[in-house]
Amino acid sequence: MFNPYLWKIYREGKGSRTIRRFQEILFGEYTGQYGHFIAGLHRAFCPSESVTKDIEDELLCVYKDQGKNIYFFERKQHTVESAVSSLYRLYMEVFDQSPKVSFEEFSNSIEYYTTYFARELGDLLVPYYFKHTYIVFEKIAQEFDIPLPTLPAKKDYEGRFLFYGKICQALQKFRLENGLDPAELCAFLYDFAPKYIGGTASYIVDDLPKAEGAYFIGSSKDDIYYTTDPEAITPWQCNPETEVGDNIVMYLTSPTSAIDSIWRSASVGFNDPFFYYYRCTYISHPVKIKNIPLSQMREDKILGNLPIVRKNMQGINGVEILPSAYNRILDLSNEDLERIEYTPYESHEGISREKDVETQLIKPFLAELGYSEADYIKQLYIRVGNDNHLLIPDFVINPVTSLGHQKADFVIEAKFTLVSRKAIEAAKIQARSYAKILSAKYAVLSSKEGIWIMDAGDDYSQCILQFSWEELKNEDNFYQVYSILGKNKIGGRTV
């Protein structure tokens, strides 16, 4: 929630210079220093120097192009909706009536174009500098109660272009409600708010957990985001199901047509409507391995059976790699990297690891309880205290998070197997710690054997319900669970 007192301290203190620079340069006499100024702000919430440098270069182009007398609006009497609609028609005229090409041009240089837009219609349109960091913008919107529209689908290129207008509408409403001028809104968006939520630390995890999954990504060596720097963190098109710590296998399409390196995911996967490829993950810690060429993969008894290999690695970004295939890559690379552990399990077909428990048992279970995927978060990363963050790796149902205040209806701690009392007690301790932080009504353990439900009333110590998955097929047993965990029944109350 917006705090007028904290904003007043910022505006009258260190923030006064930032506000003044937006007023003098963005909305006044634009200079070549603007890109450097924005880059300095951007580094506080983006870990990729390549992205920051790209933004700085684009904003320098705005300065260089000033003499071309570029104007995007013929008249000033616009609403946000009419202004962005007219922009879309202009792009369609220039790019042969192709929504895909129009959006690609807009998204690739979104900081360039929206800077022009804001200079012309600053009371309606906002410069957009959250390039490849929409996850930060979402966290800001959540923290300050800025309602955001539903994301358009990946292939809805017109909708994604017009989404910029919907974002501007939400921000201008927020600006007017809180008495900010356009320069103050920019300072809020790119300085005050990112630092308030924790900057880069709000979504980039340094202490990576053990990998539970692996994904392919593809590149060429001339990609601006490709690097061999072991300290680098860079955005990449990947799978939105990517979890923090997952292994990311880099396949170079040129010049080698070979697996080149193995990275780790430093953030959860997220959708970014203004990232052309839509699905984004920040990856880190690249380890160069002995190249495994496509020809060798085709001949391999395990890798040769992968559909993506049979398709010559076309459409590779975000393709999941099963544990047996990932471990085979490690065998061929001769690298001493951590393998993904899994155990074939005959009683539940296809369940051989913790991730299978999550996708094949827990997610359908939550659906039966009435929850959609929008009702829960897998891997919630929250701020605890002033400088610390905590990764809650499993399922958090109906989370409400803001600075210093987090809660949820219940949490589910997933394990591959829980058969001994010692293993169950250890898992309960882990689930209890997450549930207490989130003031959850219930803590739930789940494994291939079944579920265990604990109540906050006794500090999540004793199981109030325990069923195997087979027992949950019984309607009376499932009703007992639904009566306390169901979407309309949580805690025995209607929500």
Report the chain (495 residues): mean pLDDT per 10 consecutive residues: 91 95 93 95 96 95 81 78 91 91 95 93 94 96 93 96 96 96 97 94 91 90 84 92 93 89 94 94 94 95 94 92 92 88 57 87 93 90 75 88 80 91 90 91 93 92 92 90 86 39
Residues 420 and 485 in one domain: yes
Give, in order, the Cα–Cα distances in Å from 164 to each of 99, 144, 355, 397: 15, 19, 35, 30
Structure tokens that stand for 371 in this block: 């929850």
Residues 192 and 322 in one domain: no
Residue 383 Cα to chain centre, angstroms: 16
Residues 321 and 382 in one domain: no
pLDDT at 72: 81
Rounded to two decimals, the pTM is 0.84
Residue with tokens 């882990």: 430
Instruction: Report if residue 207 sits inside a domain.
Output: no
Among the candidates 289, 304, 333, a domain finishes at 333
Structure tokens that stand for 260 in this block: 């080149």
Instruction: Report if residue 189 sits inside a domain.
Output: yes
Closest to 138 measured CA to CA, from 268, 9, 243 = 268
Instruction: Report if residue 345 sits inside a domain.
Output: no
Residues 194 and 173 in one domain: yes
Residues 190 and 254 in one domain: no
pLDDT at 76: 66
pLDDT at 75: 65
Residues 231 and 190 in one domain: no
Instruction: Report if residue 245 sits inside a domain.
Output: yes
Instruction: Report if residue 82 sits inside a domain.
Output: yes
The CATH number of whichever domain residue 313 belongs to comes to: 3.10.590.10
Instruction: Report if residue 347 sits inside a domain.
Output: no
pLDDT at 404: 62
Q: How far apart are CA 91 and CA 164, in angstroms?
A: 14
Q: Which domain holds residue 473?
A: 354-492
Instruction: Report if residue 224 sits inside a domain.
Output: yes
Q: What is the DSSP string of 366-386?
A: HHHTT--GGGEEEEEEEEETT
Residues 316 and 379 in one domain: no
Instruction: Report if residue 239 sits inside a domain.
Output: yes
Q: Where are the alpha helices (DSSP H) in 109-156?
A: 110-120, 134-143
Among the candidates 301, 333, 365, a domain finishes at 333
Residues 188 and 49 in one domain: yes
Q: How far apart are CA 249 and CA 262, in angstroms?
A: 5
Residues 17 and 152 in one domain: yes
The CATH number of whichever domain residue 388 belongs to comes to: 3.90.1570
Residues 161 and 14 in one domain: yes
Residues 140 and 167 in one domain: yes
pLDDT at 349: 61
Number of domains the chain is built from = 3
Residues 398 and 316 in one domain: no
Among the candidates 150, 168, 202, a domain finishes at 202
Structure tokens that stand for 17 in this block: 């210079």
